[in-house]
Structure 1
Amino acid sequence: MLTPYALSTDGRTTPLGVDERTPLLSWRLRSDRDADAQTAYRIEVTTGGVTAWDTGRVESAENSAIAYDGPTLRSRTRYDWRVTVWDGSGEEAGAAESWFETAILHADEWVGTWIARDPNVHPPFDPPVVDDLTDRVRHLPAPPHLRRSFTLPAKPVRARLHATARGVYEPRLNGAKVGDRELAPGWTEYRTRVLYQTYDVTDALTAGENVLGAVLVDGWYAGFIGFDSRHQAQHYGDAPQFLAQLHVEFADGSTRTIATDADWVERPGAIRYADQLMGQYEDGSRELTGWDAPGYDASDWTPVVIADTAPGTLVAEPDEPVRVTEELTAVSVTAIGADRHLVDFGQNMVGRVRLTVRGAEPGRRIVLRHAEVLADGELYRENLRTAEATDVYLTAGGATEVFEPRFTFHGFRYVEVTGYPGVLAGKDVVGRVLHSDTPFTGHFECDDETVNQLYRNIRWGQRGNWVSVPTDCPQRDERLGWLADAQIFAPTATRNADVQAFFARWLADVRAAATPEGAFPDIAPKVAMLTEGAPAWGDGGVIIPWLLYRIYGDVRTLERSFGSMVAWIEHVHRHNPDLIWRHRTGNNYGDWLQVDAETPRDLLATAYFAQSVALVGAAARALGVDAQPYEDLHGRIRAAFQNEFVEDDGRVEGDTQTGYLLALAFDLLPPALVDRAFHRLAADVEKRDNHLTTGFVGVALLCPVLTKHGRADLAYALLHQDTYPSWGYSIAHGATTIWERWDGWTTERGFQAAEMNSFNHYSLGSIGDWLFGGVAGIEQAPGSVGYRELELRPAVGGRLTRAGASQETIRGRVASSWRLDGDQVVVDVEIPPGSTANLHVPTSDPSSVRDRSGSPVADQLRLSSGRYRFTATR
């Protein structure tokens, strides 16, 4: 039976707090019958048992982004919805139910004010003279604990807390943390908008006294961000602020609102300072036991100050938050001195450590220092630059104490623990993995363990750099949302996880960071070092919205981005009327970190100019806008590129792998020269004994272009390469995430320059897209959106004897795998209801292809939905 599943509203499952006026409803489909498809649907939306919207039966195969079209939604209201589908024979089939709840839909409903600590009351933390703290952290202010006691006449039947911060906050209610979010509200361009969260706190409230509280820290708002030595902190403000309101409903229909105002009080607690780059310092003896619970005496607390009476632009959190998603146990704990232990988690991760301390005397100082790699058995920390990544705990003297720094995060595999009493047991040190909790929906596996490790490294790199924004690295003093890194890796990211809502939210910051002239930046959200975007960097503002449309059918994000996309290409065109992009190129990084090659920067820039114009034209067609001006401009840029950079024999200026890849992948060559240019590309790889020279920009194109033009053997040779430079080289030397650079460490030179040498940086992991699309063969047909038309072309090769991948698309599950069985290849594919596929069976003998029943079939097949198996001669 045809069955809907994975119902979502605006890309999230049962979201609590939606402020879109027309939320988009979606579902996926599965069926136990081949050739099944949805022919109609019906959506019923109710609230309080009353129908708000009923589409009736709609004759349509669409199952994604159906816009709510009922009466105006009300704030803070739960809406239940049910979808019923009809199958390929026109019979009513399965149904499924879900719900969403609206947030605060009108600005005038915000009654709270922004509150903050009084800087004149509590002095900055001044550690003892004997302390070894640096000047960066020595005088950081202690985070305030904010508190408000109130009385309720009865236990409520419904209660919602809406909260946010200019900074980072942890909400508390009646002695416990509220929810499972970490580092809320996340990083946005605070000057234009701040996210807020909605929590269901009904069960936490009771009749009588209740206490609402929060711990408030600098976070991205006022803490250290980036590497600009002239402006390393306080990019948005000099101190954090908190805003909240609690809406309570009672059985008799009455309501009450408790909001942030002058009645709140504050004081510092055990946390002496907390910074996301530097670390957290906590004094267990200063713990405010019971401060967030009824019955606590807060008479000596200080009134807060009102920092701002206008709420500003507040946006309900539109995607999954940062959460702790996994715990890692230590693979080894080694005593390396009288009071030092070295902990190895076996995996380069992002997050924090939970340390259990047993039997320590009061005031013992325990220090945790973090690093990604070791040098001569000690932590290698030079590559952290100014990030200190150090947590400090002063014990209170209890029999058992737990230290977990909740307001910082680090990129690390190793932790040095100094000052721990006695012997540190592995069970007492736990790695807590943090990242934006985008649902992982894809998987790749093969029978080569090095390739499997590569794929694990790619996934871990995505997790570690998906902390509120898509960052470049999680360990050093940077962690910025670089657009090129994001756009290069985005196709791989969509294979691994459902990142639609994550990217859509971040793109609002990309648009906000554009200059008045229309130039996208290099990074978003913007900080002090903002410049006009470089080629391939600024182009991310065009490429990613188009990708979201292709993968998820995300018309809304494309519509919201289209004006900025047009402004970007107009900005480039305005300053480069001859259509060769040489002027206003920003920092112009070129093919960043390429090896033994120098791709001409004006060639790379012009190729990206052409590609962005082509995508704007495609977006215009998708949105029903006149695309002809952009298509004409693209044709002129293409001609200018050929005239400037391409010779009659197919040589592309610079004669580099990346130069040929850009020309081929972006369709910038005359047809007669395509084979000649590709031959030069392949020859360059071969003459280097199957090694690459590509940097950030070229690497994503390398294996796909080789495979498309009939040299999958070269792509596999690069995949299996284990000498420098290659993916396998880093794995052979212990990498558990993707390195920033091919030569991050080499046997000849050791570590690269510490100024820029991250061991967790996802850009070079963009080969992940080819593992799905080339090795397993899952691609979309040209012109397809949302995997409606599949192109399944598995590539058998290399040392592999089996490989396969699966993805949850907006249609449903797509899978493709192959294995070798003697002189036969066995291919299995799965196509979701409503999709069709062109399958190309990899065989040397087209007449040998057989279906599951043994009947002969063609080697190129047109398939409808279902599960299929084919065999053929290799």
Structure 2
Amino acid sequence: MNRLSTKILLLAFLLVPGLSGLAQKVSVSDLTVEHLENPLSVDASAPRLSWKITSQLKNTLQTAYEIRVGTDKNGLAAGKGIVWKGAGKTSQSVLIPYEGPALQSKTRYFWQVRVTDNQGNTSPWSSVQFWQTGLKPEDWTAQWIAVSEKDTLARSPLFRKEFPVAKKIRSALAYITAKGLYEASINGQRVGDSYLTPGWTSYRNHLQYQVYDVTASLKSGTNAIGVTLGDGWYKGRIGFEGKRRFYGDTRALLLQLEIEYTDGTKESINTDQSWKTAYGPIMASDIYDGETYDAREEKAGSWGNVRILEKGTEQLVGMSGPTVKKHETFKALKIFRTPKGEIVADFGQNLVGWAIIKAKGPAGTRISLSHAEVLDKEGNFYTVNLRSAKAQANYILKGNEEQTFEPHFTFFGFRYVRVEGYPGELKPEDLTAVALYSDMATTGKFTTSNNLLNQLQHNIQWGQKGNFVDVPTDCPQRDERLGWTGDAQAFANTAAYNMDVAGFFTKWLKDVKADQQPNGLIPHVIPNVLGAKDGASAGWADVATIIPWDMYVAYGDKRLLEVQYESMKKWVGFIRTTAKNNLWNTGFHFGDWLFYRPDDDNDGRAAVTDKYLIAQAFYAHSTQLLINAAQVLGKQEDVEQYTNLLKEIKKAFIREYMTETGRLVSSTQTAYVLALQFDMLPEELRASSAERLVNNIKSYGNHLTTGFLGTPYLCHVLTRFGYTNVAYDLLMQERYPSWLYPVKMGATTIWERWDGIKPDGSFQTPGMNSYNHYAYGAIGDWMYRHMAGINSDPSAPGYKKIYISPKPGGGITSVSGELHTPYGLVSSSWKIEDKVFKLDVQVPANTNAKVVLPFGGKETEVGSGSYHFECNVP
């Protein structure tokens, strides 16, 4: 076999049509509605239904589907309570819109599906799943309640209501939201497993509510509902300017408990004048500063009357994304005494969440837990980089009985916890750390033969977990924790490989749209708590076009483009009206944020990239993405208009920033990366520009110099222009600045700066030095796409068509990548043995893939199934 030849070895377990002994050749599973499993508050009038197909046969494609929807779960199969029967002769199995009669609000609809494949097999009906429609404005009969006096105390108010249940209950649903954060209980049992509810949105525009099935929590006789409120993002300190009460000065509760009895009667228990209020044991809670809990105050004193608040102008909306939940737990690896004599626990992982502590001691004993990401070079607890955030949990014991404490309305970014005031000896079993992040399913897996790269992938994943806490934050530890748009757009593609972020970004993009200014300007952070005084920054505000398109490609969600299209158009319109002669060269821009500039380099190849050059490149990029969206949505007039505009934008770029030979005014890596990535240069000058980029990299000793805007595209551009070997040189670089330098320094997440900890153990400037920032983790996108070779084809988004093209290099001898797509599991796993490249591929049912082997190997089209490929390594 010569080096270009390819052989396909079908694995023994692949079956062919006609073989006997197959119990069930095709089946349907993993049913979702609007990206969610059994959602309880769907607002969409035509919710989209999705499913995955499992087949024991190769080359399986769906040719038809049948859906039935009803209001009677048990009667669905018998045709009882059917409200819609849908059918289609199509291979589409993702995001099929409901097309039946108008849905009733606060109603549960059950559904199931079966499919027919291209080999004549019909699946059994799937298991029955459901969705519940949300409440219309007129369905809310509850009233907003607050404490009777002005809400000026730091303490968390409690609200309580007792009510009788005399009949047998069929179902009970609690609809809850708050201004502030809430935690509810029924008969002493916590309601649900979500935290930091109702989540953070652009509160003045829309406020989420959650729905809980509490049927099992109610009992015959007297029942009691209790709710505690915290300041949260609504009223607490927010932003690094020390703002408080940004959205309002009064915490308030809205709760509607709807009970249906087996005799068909219904009852509603609503927040109203009959509720009682008192202050509880949470003496203060704040996102940045932490929480103080005095267990001696657990027995509330006298209960007072509540105050009814007028309904606000904000819209109450159901959940379109996941809530924050508890996930991994960590035991302390060790508890030690620092050189300063402080007692510190090391959990081995920089995470976001909190610590749960058990303690027993005299009443009034105060235990303080402080949180830090790193120790200083002497081994002492280090919190200077938290700036003004106290990040502390304080617990006051009520007496000599063992108690367990954890916070309620805050979160911390930490690896280390300092414990002060603990009575007796602190043992590892007394302290547990728990990670909190939005409840996104893990979809991607990436491993290699290189342990440093595997740790880098681990760090990328944990950077995502720690910063996807309801909104995509920049960092989770200091007095910031904001939804920075530049960070989010840079990382969105990588995020979609690691976890299912379809719902997460759908929810956040509503806030992008809501906080967009009337003139189209997109603020720096979403939700916007910083105002728009600096204007819009290139590469940050372009989130309005970048993430909707990225999510469309990743999940095939055309409706997301429809919903965001006017926002995308308004953003490009803002730049257009700001630009002069099609040149966007005014206003404030962050530029290539946190680029690397070694040794005060001023010799002409320095990494300082002209900010207006960057702005012009992103102007073109956003315009191109708007054209893409217009094409998908059939808006041909817009396609033509913006295609003409794009030509003028590129002409202006060439006039202003490029010489006749293709040299740019900024001779930086980022300048050439953006110009090449966004096709700003004439085609005949692109190869020479790519060569200039490579020469710059080599002049820095195979180091990158890019910042937040250049880094995500750097290796992609190198691969596109035939320099994958240079991309690997950068990836495998272990000396600063590089992706592996923090790994070698012991990082367990991605750092904000390339040298957050310097080689001598000292720290970068503490005013901005987070050890849990995900932006530079955007290299994960390249690792999945080119090392593992897993790509979605934009012409058939959501991995309906798959492109598998692994590119080995860097001395790596094996790579394994997996991705749970909307259609099922795609995997690409290769290894090099004895100068032979061996590739195993899995393609999910109802898709097909194009497989391209490296080293000039041929291209092969395959359907679903598992395949083995080999070719010689030159």
Partner of residue 676 from structure 1, selected from 671, 683, 688: 688
Q: How does 1:171-182 map to 2 (within 5 A)?
A: 171-182=184-195
Partner of residue 100 from structure 2, selected from 59, 70, 75: 70
Shift of 1:753: 1.1
Q: Provide, for residues 702-737 of structure 1, a one-character-per-residue CA deviation record: whole Å limited to 9, x for no partner.
A: 111112222111111111111110111111111100
Kept after mapping to 2: 8 A contact 1:76/1:102: yes
Kept after mapping to 1: 8 A contact 2:473/2:484: yes
Partner of residue 461 from structure 1, selected from 460, 463, 470: 463
TM-score (norm 2): 0.93
* 1:608 matched to 2:608: no
Q: Work out the CA distance in 2 between the residues paired with 1:261 and 1:54.
A: 38
Q: Work out the CA distance in 2 between the residues paired with 1:812 and 1:147.
A: 46
Q: Work out the CA distance in 1 between the residues paired with 2:838 and 2:803.
A: 18
Aligned to 1:15: 39
Q: Work out the CA distance in 2 between the residues paired with 1:672 and 1:782.
A: 26
Q: Work out the CA distance in 2 between the residues paired with 1:123 and 1:438.
A: 36
* 1:212 matched to 2:212: no
Which amino acid counterpart does residue 807 of structure 1 have in structure 2? L
Shift of 1:53: 4.0
Q: Work out the CA distance in 2 between the residues paired with 1:310 and 1:345.
A: 44
Aligned to 2:824: 812
Kept after mapping to 1: 8 A contact 2:790/2:802: yes
Kept after mapping to 2: 8 A contact 1:370/1:416: yes
Q: SS at 1:408's partner residue? A: coil
Q: Provide, for residues 585-642 of structure 1, a one-character-per-residue CA deviation record: whole Å limited to 9, x for no partner.
A: 3x30000001121111111000000010011011011011121101111111112212
Aligned to 2:146: 116
Q: SS at 1:667's partner residue? A: coil
Kept after mapping to 2: 8 A contact 1:386/1:476: yes
Q: How does 1:332-343 map to 2 (within 5 A)?
A: 332-336=334-338, 340-343=342-345
Q: SS at 1:416's partner residue? A: strand
TM-score (norm 1): 0.93
Aligned to 2:627: 617
Q: Work out the CA distance in 1 between the residues paired with 2:57 and 2:664.
A: 51
Q: Work out the CA distance in 1 between the residues paired with 2:591 and 2:392.
A: 35
Q: SS at 2:358's partner residue? A: strand
Partner of residue 554 from structure 2, selected from 551, 554, 563: 551
Sort the Cα spacing of 1:784 and 1:665 in 2 relative to 1 into closer, same or farther, 3 A: farther
* 1:161 matched to 2:158: no
Q: SS at 1:267's partner residue? A: strand
Aligned to 1:629: 641
Kept after mapping to 1: 8 A contact 2:486/2:541: yes
Partner of residue 579 from structure 1, selected from 579, 582, 585: 582
Which amino acid counterpart does residue 745 of structure 2 have in structure 1? H
Aligned to 2:600: none
Partner of residue 259 from structure 1, selected from 266, 270, 279: 270
Shift of 1:839: 1.2
Unmatched runs of 5 consecutive residues or more in structure 1:
125-140, 292-297, 847-858
Q: How does 1:209-608 map to 2 (within 5 A)?
A: 209-229=222-242, 232-288=243-299, 300-309=302-311, 312-336=314-338, 340-358=342-360, 360-375=361-376, 376-531=378-533, 532-583=535-586, 585=587, 587-596=588-597, 597-608=607-618
Aligned to 2:736: 724
* 1:5 matched to 2:29: yes
Q: SS at 1:221's partner residue? A: helix
Kept after mapping to 2: 8 A contact 1:825/1:843: no
Aligned to 1:856: none
Q: SS at 2:477's partner residue? A: coil
Aligned to 1:867: 866
Q: Provide, for residues 538-566 of structure 1, a one-character-per-residue CA deviation record: whole Å limited to 9, x for no partner.
A: 10011111111111111111111101111
Kept after mapping to 1: 8 A contact 2:103/2:133: no
Shift of 1:97: 2.7
Sort the Cα spacing of 1:439 and 1:317 in 2 relative to 1 into closer, same or farther, 3 A: same
Q: Work out the CA distance in 2 between the residues paired with 1:708 and 1:97.
A: 45
Aligned to 1:46: 70
Which amino acid counterpart does residue 97 of structure 1 have in structure 2? S
Partner of residue 59 from structure 1, selected from 76, 89, 104: 89
Shift of 1:340: 4.3
Aligned to 2:196: 183
Q: SS at 1:644's partner residue? A: helix
Q: Provide, for residues 146-185 of structure 1, a one-character-per-residue CA deviation record: whole Å limited to 9, x for no partner.
A: 1011112223111000000011000110111101010100
Shift of 1:647: 2.2
Shift of 1:94: 4.5
Q: Work out the CA distance in 2 between the residues paired with 1:644 and 1:115.
A: 59
Shift of 1:39: 0.7
* 1:32 matched to 2:56: yes
Which amino acid counterpart does residue 326 of structure 2 have in structure 1? V
Stretches of 4+ aligned residues off by more than 6 angstroms: none
Q: Work out the CA distance in 2 between the residues paired with 1:286 and 1:158.
A: 34
Kept after mapping to 2: 8 A contact 1:156/1:202: yes
Q: SS at 2:135's partner residue? A: coil
Q: SS at 2:123's partner residue? A: strand
Which amino acid counterpart does residue 137 of structure 2 have in structure 1? A
Kept after mapping to 1: 8 A contact 2:340/2:380: no
* 1:768 matched to 2:780: yes
Q: Work out the CA distance in 1 between the residues paired with 2:724 and 2:617.
A: 24
Sort the Cα spacing of 1:568 and 1:311 in 2 relative to 1 into closer, same or farther, 3 A: closer
Q: Provide, for residues 204-226 of structure 1, a one-character-per-residue CA deviation record: whole Å limited to 9, x for no partner.
A: 11221111110001111001111
Shift of 1:18: 1.6
Q: Work out the CA distance in 2 between the residues paired with 1:686 and 1:436.
A: 41
Unmatched runs of 5 consecutive residues or more in structure 2:
1-24, 598-606
Aligned to 1:101: 131
Shift of 1:763: 0.3
Shift of 1:310: 5.3
Q: Work out the CA distance in 2 between the residues paired with 1:604 and 1:429.
A: 48
Q: SS at 2:88's partner residue? A: coil
Q: Provide, for residues 259-291 of structure 1, a one-character-per-residue CA deviation record: whole Å limited to 9, x for no partner.
A: 011111111121111111101111111112xx7
Q: Could you tell me the percent identity over the aligned residues? A: 40
Sort the Cα spacing of 1:224 and 1:670 in 2 relative to 1 into closer, same or farther, 3 A: same
Shift of 1:311: 7.7
Q: SS at 1:747's partner residue? A: coil
Sort the Cα spacing of 1:512 and 1:420 in 2 relative to 1 into closer, same or farther, 3 A: same
Kept after mapping to 1: 8 A contact 2:662/2:689: yes
Q: SS at 1:702's partner residue? A: helix
Aligned to 1:660: 672
Q: Work out the CA distance in 2 between the residues paired with 1:720 and 1:683.
A: 18
Kept after mapping to 1: 8 A contact 2:335/2:346: yes
Sort the Cα spacing of 1:343 and 1:783 in 2 relative to 1 into closer, same or farther, 3 A: same
Shift of 1:385: 0.9
Q: Work out the CA distance in 2 between the residues paired with 1:747 and 1:456.
A: 22
Mean CA deviation greater in 180-189 or 808-817: 808-817
Which amino acid counterpart does residue 562 of structure 1 have in structure 2? Y
Kept after mapping to 1: 8 A contact 2:155/2:284: yes
Provide the aligned length of Structure 1 versus Structure 2: 830
Aligned to 1:855: none
